[in-house]
């Protein structure tokens, strides 16, 4: 038996020869060599500066593709390394250059091996785990990528900080993911031979849609000088099923009693089933990575904090759900303390993790489904109301039929592709806030 196991191990290691072990702060995960070497690099350079790239195959017609590692920064301004994927048309760029479309992906997980670009063939159309036809244990790929390439656009997709470039992932800290998306555009422009021009747009889904809204409200970060590709001109933002917990809070919390109620309500609202609990507990695991005045054991028992930390540093979202379900069954709530502590700091961190209440720099369009139980659609409506009051142009589109969180991207695609084309063409756009204003 020992000899048999040893043979299997040797076969596994030889088959996955390009993969090497990576030790995160807590749990060992397997990473492709590109990401293992990236994690050893220092986050030194200009925002958007490409520090490593690797040509990869793609099935997209008329396209070429690369994996990238580039300099970004988190919400607090600390330099980070993010990895991602870049797909560009073949041939010489036109004289006017090529616009850049940046994709912000939905939840894949918080471990170093959860970056979508790490898949063996990532440069293809969006492939969803939950939908029939999904062929992987995670979501990956780029929605509408073939059409975007045919239109002459460069398409870039960040993995987010902590998903293959080192550091602990700041899941649902929307400013950090927004910075990654903005800097991915700069990274595309940093590769001069691709011929990127300054026109750009960001589209995203779920976690990524939250980052899209945060990017729209980041005028100072967008206009920052001294980057690897200054002067990007963001012309629009597409958000599919966007989360924004901060939109449900009128002002930044400053009352400890109200904070107690808010955190208790949040824990209850997102603990109805193990899938919701996985997303919530993953968010709570990530908050201390961006806000040092919060700790896991503020909310979790000692054993609960240990279990949550091991799960989310070692597993991606769907495997994490299975692990919670197998080990705790219906008792997963026992991982939480009966009474949360330090709730004011947590409430403030959650508020600060949301979309800034700042007027977007360009039109925003939101697509949502009536059967979305993963992200309450009311968040998008509250966001729209708040931004419209600031003088923004935000349109919110209810998708036909009874669309879930997971059917939103494919059903929305025929609607947002022409919307993107119109933004790059400079066509006039209706004010989506007229009925509110």
pLDDT tens digits, one per residue of 364-408: 999 999 999 999 999 999 999 999 999 999 999 999 999 999 999
Greatest CA separation found in the chain? 74
Instruction: Say whether both 230 and 306 belong to one domain.
Output: no
Residue 430 included in any domain: no
Instruction: Say whether both 154 and 213 belong to one domain.
Output: yes
Instruction: Say whether both 345 and 370 belong to one domain.
Output: no
Q: How far is CA 197 from CA 94, 97, 190, 193, 194, in A?
A: 10, 5, 11, 11, 9
Q: Could you list the residue range(s) of the whole structural domain that residue 209 is in?
A: 16-244+359-425
Is the pLDDT at 339 greater than 60, yes or no?
A: yes
**Rounded to an integer, what distance in angstroms lies between the CA atom of residue 16 and that of residue 51?**
25
Is the pLDDT at 11 greater than 90, yes or no?
A: no
Mean per-residue pLDDT over the chain, rounded = 93
Q: What is the pLDDT of residue 15?
A: 31
Residue 431 included in any domain: no
Domain boundary among 333, 352, 371: 352
**Rounded to an integer, what distance in angstroms lies between the CA atom of residue 236 and that of residue 423?**
7
Q: What is the pLDDT of residue 437?
A: 46
Domain boundary among 301, 322, 352: 352
The pLDDT tens digits of the residues spanning 341-365 come to: 999 999 999 999 999 999 999 999 9
Taking phi over 0 as left and psi of -120 to 50 as alpha, with beta for the rest, 3 belongs to alpha
The pLDDT tens digits of the residues spanning 59-70 come to: 999 999 999 999
Residue 432 included in any domain: no
**Rounded to an integer, what distance in angstroms lies between the CA atom of residue 281 and that of residue 299?**
10
Q: What is the pLDDT of residue 269?
A: 84
Residue 153 binned pLDDT confidence (cut-offs 50, 70, 90): very high
434 CB neighbour count, 10 Å cutoff: 10
Is the pLDDT at 24 greater than 80, yes or no?
A: no
**Rounded to an integer, what distance in angstroms lies between the CA atom of residue 408 and that of residue 204?**
11
Q: What is the pLDDT of residue 28?
A: 81
- Looking at the chain, the whole-number percentage of residues with pLDDT higher than 90 is 90
Q: What is the pLDDT of residue 436?
A: 56
First to last CA, the chain: 73
**Rounded to an integer, what distance in angstroms lies between the CA atom of residue 29 and that of residue 118?**
13
Domain boundary among 296, 318, 352: 352
The CATH number of the domain where 197 resides is what? 3.40.50.1820
Q: Torsion over CA of 177, 181, 182 and 183, rounded to 10 degrees?
A: 100
Instruction: Say whether both 201 and 273 belong to one domain.
Output: no
Residue 1 binned pLDDT confidence (cut-offs 50, 70, 90): very low
pTM, two decimal places: 0.93
Q: What is the pLDDT of residue 6?
A: 37
The pLDDT tens digits of the residues spanning 25-64 come to: 456 898 999 999 999 999 999 999 999 999 999 999 999 9
Q: What is the pLDDT of residue 13?
A: 33
Q: What is the pLDDT of residue 398?
A: 98
Q: What is the pLDDT of residue 2?
A: 37
Is the pLDDT at 14 greater than 50, yes or no?
A: no
Instruction: Say whether both 209 and 67 belong to one domain.
Output: yes
Tally of structural domains, the chain: 2
Q: What is the DSSP letter of 92?
A: P
Instruction: Say whether both 293 and 418 belong to one domain.
Output: no
Contact 311, 96 (CB under 8 A): no
Q: What is the pLDDT of residue 203?
A: 99
Instruction: Say whether both 315 and 237 belong to one domain.
Output: no
Q: Are strands 196-205 and 154-158 parallel, antiparallel or unpaired?
A: unpaired
Q: In what order do the strands lie in the sheet containing 50-56?
A: 50-56, 63-73, 79-89, 154-158, 98-104, 196-205, 233-240, 364-368, 394-398
Instruction: Say whether both 288 and 403 belong to one domain.
Output: no
Residue 437 included in any domain: no
**Rounded to an integer, what distance in angstroms lies between the CA atom of residue 301 and that of residue 245?**
24
Contact 207, 355 (CB under 8 A): no
Q: How far out from the chain centre does Cα 383 lie?
A: 18
The pLDDT tens digits of the residues spanning 158-190 come to: 999 999 999 999 999 999 999 999 999 999 999
Instruction: Say whether both 367 and 229 belong to one domain.
Output: yes
Instruction: Say whether both 272 and 417 belong to one domain.
Output: no
Instruction: Say whether both 240 and 103 belong to one domain.
Output: yes
Instruction: Say whether both 191 and 286 belong to one domain.
Output: no
The pLDDT tens digits of the residues spanning 81-133 come to: 999 999 999 999 999 999 999 999 999 999 999 999 999 999 999 999 999 99
**Rounded to an integer, what distance in angstroms lies between the CA atom of residue 287 and that of residue 266?**
14
Query: Judging by beta carbons within 10 Å of its beta carbon (0-12, 13-18, 19+), is residue 136 exposed, middle or buried?
Result: middle
Residue 107 included in any domain: yes
Q: What is the pLDDT of residue 270?
A: 84
Residue 227 binned pLDDT confidence (cut-offs 50, 70, 90): very high
Contacts (Cβ under 8 Å, ≥6 apart) of 325: 274, 332
How crowded is the C-beta side of 39, counted as CA atoms within 13 Å? Answer: 23
């Amino acid at each position: 038996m020992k000899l048999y196991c040893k043979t299997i191990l040797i076969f596994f290691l030889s088959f996955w020869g390009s993969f090497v072990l990576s030790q995160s702060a807590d749990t060992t995960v397997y990473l492709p060599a590109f990401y293992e070497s990236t994690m050893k690099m220092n986050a030194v350079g200009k925002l958007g500066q490409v520090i490593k790239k690797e040509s990869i195959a793609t099935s997209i017609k008329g396209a070429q593709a690369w994996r990238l590692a580039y300099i970004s920064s988190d919400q607090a301004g600390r330099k980070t390394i993010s990895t991602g994927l870049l797909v560009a048309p073949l041939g010489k760029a036109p004289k006017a250059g090529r616009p850049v479309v940046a994709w912000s992906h939905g939840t894949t997980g918080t471990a170093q091996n959860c970056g979508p670009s790490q898949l063996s063939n990532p440069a293809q159309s969006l492939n969803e785990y939950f939908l029939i036809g999904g062929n992987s244990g995670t979501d990956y790929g780029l929605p509408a990528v073939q059409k975007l390439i045919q239109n002459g656009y460069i398409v870039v997709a960040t993995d987010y900080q902590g998903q293959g470039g080192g550091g602990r992932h700041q899941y649902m800290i929307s400013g950090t993911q927004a910075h990654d998306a903005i800097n991915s555009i700069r990274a595309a422009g940093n590769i001069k031979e691709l011929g990127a021009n300054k026109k750009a747009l960001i589209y995203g889904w779920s976690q990524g849609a939250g980052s899209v809204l945060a990017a729209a409200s980041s005028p100072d970060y967008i206009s920052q000088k001294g980057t690897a590709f200054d002067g990007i001109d963001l012309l629009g933002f597409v958000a599919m099923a966007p989360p924004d917990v901060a939109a449900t809070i009128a002002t930044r919390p400053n009352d400890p009693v109200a904070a107690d109620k808010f955190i208790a309500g949040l824990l209850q609202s997102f603990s109805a089933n193990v899938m919701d609990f996985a997303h919530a507990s993953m968010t709570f695991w990530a908050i201390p990575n961006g806000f040092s005045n919060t700790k896991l054991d503020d909310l979790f028992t000692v054993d609960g904090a240990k279990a949550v930390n091991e799960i989310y540093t070692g597993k991606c979202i769907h495997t994490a759900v299975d692990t919670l379900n197998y080990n705790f069954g219906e008792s997963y709530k026992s991982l939480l303390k009966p009474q949360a502590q330090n709730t004011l700091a947590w409430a403030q961190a959650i508020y600060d993790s949301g979309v800034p209440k700042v007027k977007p720099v360009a039109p925003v369009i939101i697509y949502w489904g009536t059967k979305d139980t993963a992200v309450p659609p009311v968040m998008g409506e509250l966001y729209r109301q708040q931004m419209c009051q600031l003088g923004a142009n935000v349109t919110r589109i209810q998708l036909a039929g009874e669309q879930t969180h997971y059917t939103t991207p494919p059903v929305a695609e025929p609607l947002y592709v022409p919307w993107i084309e119109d933004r790059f063409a400079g066509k006039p756009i209706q004010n989506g806030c007229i009925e509110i204003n």
